[in-house]
Amino acid sequence: MKTTPSSTIVFITGAFVSSSCWDEWRAFFTSYGYHCLVPAWPHKDAPAPELRRRQPDAQVAATRLRQLTEYYANFVAQLPEKPILIGHSMGGLLTQLLLQRDLAAAGVAIHSVPPQGVITFKWSFYRSVWGPLGYFTPVAQSFLMSFGQWQYAFTNGMPLAAQRAAYEQFAVPESKHVSRDGLTAAAKIDFRRPHAPLLFLAGSTDHIIPASLNYSNYRRYQHAGSVTTYRELPGRNHFVLGQPTWREDALCVLAWLQQLAAGLEVAADKRALAQAIGH
């Protein structure tokens, strides 16, 4: 039985991974009555092994953050209701950008890439992003993480066999432009504007997006009348969607959405009572 702000969920994939990373999450939320959609990024609607065989991929390499934002904005605008957006990594940043445009009923940013101007001094972040940013390499050529880079940035702390299986199943080439655009005005958020409810999930062992960076992102939101929530979960690395603990994280999201709905119902009841008294 579903009682939340919307009956539709749009999952927004992050960089470097196939959209199939949401398969278990989609099945979970479908079982709770949601209509779940997982649109792949442009030029990446294929299994991960096939996308790796295309490396280097000029079409993937040409993708920009503004293009992705418009792609998802157009997708969401065609839906019959404002959806709940659940985004991971770069998908978390896209979620924030779409909430800023009032295109969602609620948003969940899981280990989110931060907007422009939100920074960290954690060494693990700079070590993880140096390759994807691709400085001193051709920007017209897509970037594919090596297995060693994947181990450090995504699957640190996991058994070797699980790291290897995750790489084979999910790792895909990426645009260096998209990574760099996260540092530009294409990633700008006006933190003073009202926005739909927004939940940040962070992981205590994430190398590429440290929990402290997510917390800094959360703290930048300033509109007192908007709901902004932060949760840090122990032992989660950047491969959070596929770790054995993924169901606990999904339940955390579901509980937050249900709490939101309860608050909305109370507010609606109060408005109805005020209207009745007014008449």
- Residues 54-82 pLDDT 10s: 999 999 999 999 999 999 999 999 999 99
Strand partners, 36: 9
Q: What is the pLDDT along the chain (279 residues), one digit of tens a residue?
A: 445 789 999 999 999 999 999 999 999 999 999 999 999 999 999 999 999 999 999 999 999 999 999 999 999 999 999 999 999 999 999 999 999 999 999 999 999 999 999 999 999 999 999 999 999 899 999 999 999 999 999 999 999 999 999 999 999 999 999 999 999 999 999 999 999 999 999 999 999 999 999 999 999 999 999 999 999 999 999 999 999 999 999 999 999 999 998 886 555 544 543 454 454
198-203 and 84-88 beta bridge pairing: unpaired
Angle ∠(22,11,197) on CA atoms, nearest 5: 130
Q: What whole-number distance in Å separates Cα of residue 248 and Cα of residue 20?
A: 19
Q: Which two three-digit tokens encode residue 141? A: 């050529």
Predicted TM-score (pTM) of the model is 0.94
Could you tell me the domains of the chain? 8-278 (3.40.50.1820)
Query: What's the Rg (C-alpha) of the chain?
Result: 19
